[in-house]
Structure 1
Amino acid sequence: MHVDEAIQSRRSVRRFLPTPVPQEMIRHILQVASRAPSGNNIQPWRVHALCGEPLQALCRDILRAASEAAEQHRPEYEYYPSQWVEPYLERRRQNGFALYEVLGIDRRDLQRREQQMLRNYSFFDAPVGLLVTLDRRLNTGSYMDLGMFIQNILVAARGQGLHSCAQAAFAPFHAVVRRHLPLCEDDLLVCGIALGHEDTQAPENRLLTGRQPVEKFASFHGFDAATERMC
């Protein structure tokens, strides 16, 4: 798969088939992803890959925590702003409304919306769940490095014919995760990643979120003059 196709076909898949993914394929994806750049090549990422019973046991405990006492669990870093401003607030709303619409969930149906949110904690039925951590002793630049590494995972997965969903929803449940995985004291849980084969019959997987055109987020300086000189 050409890299352009891998990037453009990547999307957040929210229902997976139970088809197993071989460990060697996961190793290959992570090896490819590890070519991500990082400041001074410090490579600040760490990944825990789960499948089978270890994955199911973790999901059961997190789902229980999210259902019974979600307010007692807080992430160790702030992903979203404390106060939303435009245009980000409207984009966030449009994304949520689009997902509920494709699922046939009324905006006022709080129970079904909650049920859909809780599906995060089963990794949307994916056969493989990745948990990504960062050494908390590092600084903001390492979050940039980690973001590029995570993006590489998602794109490399497409190169293997797989789909994925990056999930910050796991971050609040780091205490639960520590009961299941050998996280070091300095490991900060950043996100989970669902990985597997897409269920093409699932309505939620028909959702394709839009992107702003280049003219909205980029400006170009000096190109016309350079073109003139070349001519």
Structure 2
Amino acid sequence: MKYDEVVLGRRSIRGYKPDPVPRAVIREVIEMAMRAPSSLNTQPWHFYVVTGEPLDRIRAGNTERNLAGVPHSREFRVSEQYQGEHRERQIEIAKQLFAAMSIERHDKAARQDWVLRGFRQFDAPVSIVITYDRELLDNDIAPFDCGAVTNALVNAAWSRGLGCVINSQGIMQSPVVREHAGIADDEVIMICVAMGYPDETFPANDVVSRRKSIEDAAVWVGFDS
């Protein structure tokens, strides 16, 4: 694909075929993603590529602990509640997804099932857990760099026919992820990316989020009118 086709065509995938993803293809995707820029070429990122039984154990442990009311232990700072226009965008995409999945507002069981899918990393056949070196924990640029490589990763995957969703629900219980993915103690868990071949029959996969306009996002300084 051309770059514009990847960027404009990519969308978050929340329903996957069970087909395994070849290791060689994932390697290509990660190698391409690692061309992302980083501050002073520090490249702080690491990738734990998990599938099969270890991923099943992460899904089970993450789900069980969350259902039991164990407080989340994500290792990055997180806002408990967005406000204003940021909250409005959250609500808007939730409404789009629930409408696509025919989940009614009063249907608590269906809504709970949707939440559980997130805890299970949407049952994707592959999870890529992205970490960075703990010695950079107090350095805000390291998470920024990890964001850049994550964006590059999902785009590289899309260019090869793979779908992804960047998913923090799947790492809410970091001890579970750390144990079963074998993550080193001197690394911080930043985020995970669910990956697999998109299930074209899954309604939520057709949802395209609305983007704010360039008029709302960009300020032009020094240009002629």
- Identify whether the pair has TM-score above 0.5, normalized to the shorter chain: yes
Matched, 1:74 2:35: no
SS of equivalent to 1:194: strand
Q: TM-score, normalised by structure 1?
A: 0.90
Q: TM-score, normalised by structure 2?
A: 0.92
Q: Deviations over 1:18-76 (max 9, x none)?
A: 1221101101110111111111211111111012222222222222222223x333222
Q: For the Cα contact (< 8 Å) 1:169–1:191, is it kept in 2?
A: no
The aligned counterpart of 1:28 is: 28
Q: For the Cα contact (< 8 Å) 2:51–2:127, is it kept in 1?
A: yes
Q: For the Cα contact (< 8 Å) 1:126–1:195, is it kept in 2?
A: yes
Give the Å deviation of 1:107.
1.9
The aligned counterpart of 2:130 is: 132
Q: Deviations over 1:154-193 (max 9, x none)?
A: 0100111111001011332111112212222232212111
SS of equivalent to 1:165: strand
Higher mean alpha-carbon deviation, 140-149 vs 123-132, is at: 123-132
The aligned counterpart of 1:89 is: 87
Distance 2:68 2:180 in 1: 19
* Matched pairs, number: 223
Distance 1:224 1:205 in 2: 42
The aligned counterpart of 2:185 is: 185
Matched, 1:122 2:120: yes
Which residue identity lines up with residue 199 of structure 1 in the other structure? D
Distance 1:119 1:6 in 2: 26
Name the CA shift for 1:94/1:48 in 2 (closer, same or farther; >3 Å): same
Aligned sequence identity (%): 31
Please list every run of 5 or more consecutive structure 2 residues that lacks an aligned counterpart in the other structure: none
Matched, 1:146 2:146: yes
Give the Å deviation of 1:221.
2.4
SS of equivalent to 1:176: helix
Distance 2:103 2:159 in 1: 33
Distance 1:206 1:98 in 2: 10
Q: For the Cα contact (< 8 Å) 2:132–2:146, is it kept in 1?
A: yes
Give the Å deviation of 1:95.
1.4
Matched, 1:158 2:185: no
Q: For the Cα contact (< 8 Å) 1:50–1:128, is it kept in 2?
A: yes
Of 104, 109, 112, the match for 1:111: 109
The aligned counterpart of 2:59 is: 59
